Structure 1
Amino acid sequence: MNHLLPMNNTDTRFTLRFLAEKDGQLLREALAEWQISKRALTAIKFDGGLLTVNGTEQNVRYPLHIGDQVEVKFPPEEKSDGLAIEYGKLAVIYEDEALLVLDKPAHQSTIPSREHPTKSIANDVCGYFEQQSLASTIHIVTRLDRDTSGLLCIAKHAHIHHLMGLAQRLGEVSREYEAIVHGHLAEDWQSIVAPIGRKETSIIEREVRQDGQYAHTDVTVLQRFSVQGEPMTHIRLKLHTGRTHQIRVHMSYLGHPLVGDDLYGGSRKLIDRQALHCVSLCLQHPLTKEKHYFTSPIKDDMQRILNN
């Protein structure tokens, strides 16, 4: 099997190319092995996509021969009607035909919400894609809370989002964070396995509860220190799952809420948001299979607390 990234031509549809490796295999079976989803095949058939073998259009029942060149053209994607196109500044860490990795600032939502319907990362990426004449919409792979800063991964196409979702479920997308919490953690390293669910009295707040979803966070102490006599700990966290507010809930559950996280018991005396930053993102590229490792230093507002 051989993936080739799209070539520059007048056809802006996202295109993948494969080499058949089995004699007599139906095109449909090969596409399944190449992880083209049934939903994608339906879209290709009805929404303007195309399947060709050696340059000739074929249906999914076509029997392949070893060495046949299969080309999959995905239909153009349309953005949601409710997503406004904006042109804010994006801190691009990495970009190719499949992925976009950004360094998100604090105080910016990843996607629009009722409280913040515009000026989100998604709005700005819509404008960025439009400037590139990219027929795609927004596919967030690793989402961050509004007040969490750091590395954020976006897929440029629905199929890439599908592949990255499979990788996440297999634990092949790794994220690490740094945070500052109240108090001195007793252990230098610990693993928190505690299920998280929505708090019954809130539509926003989560809590550790028996009927919640499985959630697993590893915590490593980097530094114990004090600010104006108040003990604090600088920690590094590795997520094994991606529940909403997972780090914030787990640290509050331990009795060490994040500094600045007033939703879960933290104080905003030193910082006006939760002191949480995604410092590293490790993934295997969904097409080339190369390993990529991205890093981002913590923001100035967190660094000022550490410098006190």
Structure 2
Amino acid sequence: MIEDVLKKTVETVQLCVQLNENRMRLDRFCAVHLTNLSRSYVKTLIQKQYVQVNGQVKKASYALNTNDNVTVLIPEPEEAQIKAEDIPLNIVYEDDDVIVVDKPSGMVVHPAPGTPSGTLVNALMAHTDQLSAINGVKRPGIVHRIDKDTSGLLVVAKNDNAHQFLAKQLAAHEMVRQYHGLVRGNITEETGTVDMPQGRHPKERIKMAVVEDGRHAVTHFTVMKRFGKYTEMIFKLETGRTHQIRVHMQAIGHPLVGDPLYGVRRREPFETDGQMLHAEKLGFIHPTTKELMVFRSPLPRIFEEALAYCSNHQM
């Protein structure tokens, strides 16, 4: 059985159980670390023996021990046509070339192993049959992405010409992308820049990290308000690497509140739903009119309530 599993594996993720994860259930541990996969898919991987603990297959309920080595084998994705799904979309703007969407936290941008449905792409396909084909059938219209648990704005291309025009702006760092975030700790500087190269984590392949031979990554930040144990911030991306803000904030000792992958695994005194990060401002030159278009998104309710709690309980 294991030999058959290995033949179908396209990616291997190695994880090590930390002290604060001792006695955690195997399925919960995997769900915490593999945030790009749905929990139901994680359970399926365990059931099909794609998950091993110290080289042995275990049940989902298995209680892990500190320093256990968990190996997750990601199988080849099953070929399937992406289906249109009638999922509500918050469309901020639309014309013949572009769609600007305000994505909620919890929604994956495009289908991937473990998340074949319920994505932004599934919703877009039900909304329109005009999406660019440059990124193939799995990512029609997708020019750039934001993480599953990050809410906010992104632009979608409805034709190939618009896609190419927007992609050039993105590559030249000319697209305006501003994020609102809440991090742990007290940042004393009013403004600053994190310029640290970023690449795949050398041990935990599901994560990114600051690495010497990584790709150039630059994040600019401005402090909005300090609450003692927390700091409200504005981030502006100069580059757009995977998990860039999350990785940079962890690297300087101020991880985003609620971040399941790079943050502190500690229950906050207020509600969180993944990392407290919101893509609040998006600006780009329109592919046809060549005019600058700028869009803003209000903070989600859960974010506003967290800020209100911090303001009323400064520590």
Write out aligned runs for 1:155-304 (5 A). 155-226=157-228, 231-266=229-264, 267-269=266-268, 270=270, 271-304=272-305
Counterparts of 1:142 and 1:135, CA distance in 2: 14
Q: Calculate the aligned-residue CA RMSD, in Å.
A: 1.5
Q: Which residue of 1 aligns with 2:7?
A: none
Counterparts of 1:258 and 1:273, CA distance in 2: 9
Counterparts of 1:120 and 1:285, CA distance in 2: 25
Ranges in structure 2 where 5+ consecutive residues have no aligned partner: 1-78, 134-139, 310-315
1:91 Cα offset (Å): 0.2
How big is each residue's C-alpha offset from its partner over 1:64-117, in whole Å with a ceiling of 9 and x where there is no partner? xxxxxxxxxxxxxxxx95312111000000101000000000000011121221
Counterparts of 1:145 and 1:114, CA distance in 2: 15
Q: Is contact 2:105–2:273 with CA below 8 Å preserved after alignment?
A: no
Counterparts of 2:174 and 2:154, CA distance in 1: 16
Q: Is contact 2:131–2:158 with CA below 8 Å preserved after alignment?
A: no
> Given the superposition, is the C-alpha separation of residues 136 and 211 from structure 1 closer, same or farther in structure 2, using an over 3 Å criterion?
closer
Letter of the 2:190 counterpart: D
Secondary structure of the residue that 1:127 maps to in structure 2? Answer: helix
Q: Is contact 1:95–1:101 with CA below 8 Å preserved after alignment?
A: yes
Q: Which residue of 2 aligns with 1:129?
A: 128
1:140 Cα offset (Å): 1.2
> Given the superposition, is the C-alpha separation of residues 268 and 198 from structure 1 closer, same or farther in structure 2, using an over 3 Å criterion?
farther
> Given the superposition, is the C-alpha separation of residues 100 and 135 from structure 1 closer, same or farther in structure 2, using an over 3 Å criterion?
closer
Q: Which residue of 2 aligns with 1:110?
A: 109
Letter of the 2:171 counterpart: R
Letter of the 1:225 counterpart: F
Secondary structure of the residue that 2:302 maps to in structure 1? Answer: helix
Secondary structure of the residue that 2:128 maps to in structure 1? Answer: helix
Counterparts of 1:126 and 1:95, CA distance in 2: 14
> Given the superposition, is the C-alpha separation of residues 101 and 136 from structure 1 closer, same or farther in structure 2, using an over 3 Å criterion?
same
Letter of the 2:110 counterpart: I
Q: Which residue of 2 aligns with 1:82?
A: 81
> Given the superposition, is the C-alpha separation of residues 108 and 135 from structure 1 closer, same or farther in structure 2, using an over 3 Å criterion?
closer
Q: Is contact 1:262–1:268 with CA below 8 Å preserved after alignment?
A: no
Q: Is contact 1:106–1:146 with CA below 8 Å preserved after alignment?
A: yes
In structure 1, which of residues 135, 147, 150 is the aligned counterpart of residue 149 of structure 2? Answer: 147
1:160 Cα offset (Å): 1.2
Ranges in structure 1 where 5+ consecutive residues have no aligned partner: 1-79
1:141 Cα offset (Å): 1.8
Letter of the 1:208 counterpart: V
> Given the superposition, is the C-alpha separation of residues 306 and 204 from structure 1 closer, same or farther in structure 2, using an over 3 Å criterion?
same
TM-score (norm 1): 0.69
Counterparts of 1:101 and 1:139, CA distance in 2: 11
Letter of the 2:305 counterpart: R
Counterparts of 1:255 and 1:185, CA distance in 2: 10
Secondary structure of the residue that 1:139 maps to in structure 2? Answer: coil
Counterparts of 2:224 and 2:251, CA distance in 1: 20
Letter of the 1:264 counterpart: Y
Q: Is contact 2:219–2:237 with CA below 8 Å preserved after alignment?
A: yes
Counterparts of 2:281 and 2:245, CA distance in 1: 15
1:268 Cα offset (Å): 4.6
Quick check: which has more Rg, 1 or 2? 1
Counterparts of 2:80 and 2:169, CA distance in 1: 29
TM-score (norm 2): 0.68
Secondary structure of the residue that 1:252 maps to in structure 2? Answer: helix
Counterparts of 2:157 and 2:141, CA distance in 1: 5
1:136 Cα offset (Å): 5.1
295-304 vs 196-205, which deviates more?
196-205
Number of residue pairs matched by the alignment: 222
Secondary structure of the residue that 1:164 maps to in structure 2? Answer: helix
